[in-house]
């Protein structure tokens, strides 16, 4: 029986999505899914929702809930991390304190003051978890979804050497977006993507032997596309490769777009076409503040039960390890020479 532990299962919507994927993997039939959160009520809510999925699909699985992290990971083959240290209160501080000093952030979870302080809060917890894994689940594979992805995984690699991979969904989502722009079914596309989360570049985008980049260059000239992704299209035109992550989010990763308040208000903000984009903090940051102050996702209503897996990589990895199937993913790993013009050892 394969045991899978989710640390931070109080992210109930994401937990439901991941567990739905896991419960669609035949090789995991009879598995145990241990849902851990420091809030016992959220852990129990997650358990009920995941148990309902298993029962609706008649999948044999044991679903447990606990606030004891050591108990959750004991004997686990896979440990999936999805937690937010300090919760929304700490996240709010990451945004609002820098804003008082004129440092506006779009999401603030990767770079800048928000990313730095999130890393300082999160890395000690991850390293403590790895020490527990050495004792209680020495063969477990760590699947980390926690940001700042690159800093967290770099720390795990340097401090522990434990087997791990950092997972995000920007590559999957953006490959589908590019395929839609050029009218090519995503299942006919092969791509090669590399970089540092959340700034990876599509080095190749092909259909068979056909290079699809000329079609992408034609697509970004269309007004509706240019208005959808102004920052990333600027970067694409400058560097020749399309970068992952949204335009608003990408604007805080590079030094070209947010140099001062005038640039943000007069040049950057008016170029975004969707004022309701929850990540569009390019204007005032108010939409981000509202987003992180919303009631917990646990209070969201149930959605229809998925019949297929999502594009998250977690289930594919577990299936490959347990069932021996082939999985091709884009994951965050230590740079041992994979990218020669980035530092060795970086994520």
Catalytic residue among 164, 169, 198, 249: 169
Beta-ladder partners of 81: 7, 144
With tokens 């809030």, the residue in question is 39
- The structure tokens listed for 287 are 């939409």
Q: What are the residues whose beta carbons fall under 8 Å from the beta carbon of 328, sequence distance 6 or more?
A: none
Burial class of residue 105, CB neighbours in 10 A (0-12, 13-18, 19+):
buried
Give CA 58 to chain center in angstroms. 29
Provide the residue count of the chain.
Answer: 347
- 169 catalytic? Reply is yes
Q: Are 292 and 300 in contact (CB under 8 A)?
A: no
Query: Phi, psi (5° rounding) for residue 206?
Result: -135, 160
Whether the bond between 42 and the residue before it is cis, its omega within 30 degrees of 0, is no
Q: Which residues are catalytic?
A: 169
């Amino acid at each position: 029986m394969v045991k899978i532990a989710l640390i931070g299962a109080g992210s109930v919507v994401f937990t439901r999505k991941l567990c739905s994927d896991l419960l669609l993997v035949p090789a995991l039939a009879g598995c145990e899914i241990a849902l851990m959160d420091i809030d016992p009520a959220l852990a129990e809510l997650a358990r009920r929702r995941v148990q309902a999925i298993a029962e609706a699909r008649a999948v044999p699985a044991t679903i447990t809930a606990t606030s004891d992290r050591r108990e959750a990971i004991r004997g686990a083959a896979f440990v999936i991390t999805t937690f937010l240290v300090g919760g929304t209160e700490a996240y709010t501080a990451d945004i609002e304190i820098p804003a008082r000093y004129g440092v506006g952030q779009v999401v603030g979870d990767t770079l800048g003051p928000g990313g730095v302080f999130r890393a300082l809060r999160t890395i000690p917890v991850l390293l403590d978890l790895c020490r527990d894994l050495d004792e209680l689940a020495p063969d477990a594979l760590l699947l980390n979804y926690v940001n700042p992805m690159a800093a967290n995984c770099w720390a795990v690699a340097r401090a522990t050497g434990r087997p791990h991979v950092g997972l995000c969904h920007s590559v999957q989502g953006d490959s589908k977006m590019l395929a839609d722009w050029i009218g090519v079914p995503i299942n006919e596309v092969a791509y090669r993507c590399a970089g540092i989360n959340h700034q990876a570049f599509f080095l190749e985008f092909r259909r068979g032997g056909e290079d699809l980049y000329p079609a992408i260059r034609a697509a970004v000239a269309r007004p509706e596309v240019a208005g959808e992704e102004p920052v990333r299209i600027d970067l694409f035109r400058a560097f020749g490769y399309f970068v992952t992550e949204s335009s608003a989010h990408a604007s805080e990763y590079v030094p070209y777009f947010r140099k001062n308040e005038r640039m943000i208000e007069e040049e950057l903000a008016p170029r975004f076409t969707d004022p309701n984009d929850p990540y569009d903090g390019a204007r005032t940051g108010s939409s981000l503040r509202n987003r992180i102050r919303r009631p917990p996702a646990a209070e969201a209503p149930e959605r229809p039960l998925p019949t297929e897996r999502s594009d998250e990589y977690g289930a594919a990895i577990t299936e490959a390890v347990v069932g021996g199937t082939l999985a091709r993913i884009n994951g965050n790993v230590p740079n041992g020479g994979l990218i020669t013009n980035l530092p060795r050892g970086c994520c």
